[in-house]
């Protein structure tokens, strides 16, 4: 450890940063504050880069695009992946189990799945985004357009002309 008076604080700060033991406050769009470990927050590339740029760690990070319910769920994922080790086979299996249960719950609530997907995209949480988009892809697979619309509650907005164009693209030869 550095002993110089000026460098001491910086070194301690660096060490803390290194270990990820600092706490970071994330604020939802409803103004609710969530305090998480830095290791957890660093799952988000968006927050990671802000922290590394020396951003407002103390003031916390307002997330105007994420509501409290979604943020709580996203943090649940980040805690699991940021705070836990994944070195041994067992640890990795535990994480995989967590992911499986996590996505199964979201899959059952498509509106929530949407919110979490958007949050993962906005916060650049790679693992979570991969998890949710794969879930969406799996839902789409093997379904007719009608079934896809039903699964996601999408209204049909294609015109007869659109359909004609699509058919044209399809049969062009």
Partner 1 sequence: MEATASMLQARDWSSLPTDVLVLILERMRWSTHPSVVLVCQQWRSAVSLSPFYPAWITPLLLNTADIGTANIRYYSPYYDKNFEVDDTLKRLFGIELTFTIEIASSIRNNSGEWEDWKLAENHLDWSKWEVIAVYDPCRHDEGFKILDKLNSFGFKGEDSYLLESNQGELMVVLIERYGKMVHVVKLNEQRMEWEKPAAKACADGQSFGQGMASRPQLTRAATHGFGELVTYKQFMGLRSVGESRAQPGCAIDSNAIWCRSPPWRRRCSLPYLNCRHVPPRARCPVL
145 forms part of the interface with partner 1 (CB under 8 A): yes
d(CA 132, CA 43): 15
Q: Which of 18, 53, 85, 169 binds partner 1 (CB under 8 A)?
A: 169
Contact 30, 68 (CB under 8 A): yes
- Which of 59, 137, 160, 161 is close enough to bind partner 1 by CB under 8 A? 137
- Residue from 57, 115, 123, 128 that binds partner 1 (CB under 8 A)? 115
Burial readout 6-43 (b: 16 or more C-beta within 10 A, e: otherwise): eeeeeeeeeeeeeebeeebbbbbeeeeebebbbbbbbb
Among 21, 76, 83, 134, binds partner 1 (CB under 8 A): 134
Determine the Cα–Cα distance for residues 74 and 94; give it in Å rounded to an integer.
Answer: 18
Residues contributing to the site for partner 1 (CB under 8 A): 67, 110-111, 114-115, 117-118, 121, 129, 133-134, 136-137, 140-145, 148-149, 152-158, 162-163, 166, 169-173
């Amino acid at each position: 450890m550095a002993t110089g008076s000026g460098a001491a604080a910086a070194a301690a700060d660096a060490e803390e940063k290194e270990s990820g033991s600092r706490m970071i406050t994330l604020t939802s769009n409803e103004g609710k504050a969530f305090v998480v470990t830095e290791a957890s927050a660093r799952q988000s590339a968006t927050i990671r880069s802000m922290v590394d740029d020396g951003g407002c760690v103390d003031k916390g990070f307002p997330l105007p695009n994420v509501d409290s319910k979604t943020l709580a769920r996203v943090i649940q994922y980040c805690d699991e992946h940021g705070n836990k080790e994944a070195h041994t086979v067992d640890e990795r299996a535990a994480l995989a189990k967590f992911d499986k249960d996590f996505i199964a719950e979201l899959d059952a609530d498509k509106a929530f799945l949407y919110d979490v997907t958007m949050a993962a995209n906005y916060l650049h949480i790679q693992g979570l985004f991969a998890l949710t988009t794969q879930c969406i892809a799996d839902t789409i697979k093997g379904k007719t357009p009608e079934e896809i619309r039903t699964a996601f509650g999408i209204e049909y907005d294609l015109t007869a002309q659109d359909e004609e164009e699509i058919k044209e693209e399809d049969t062009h030869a």
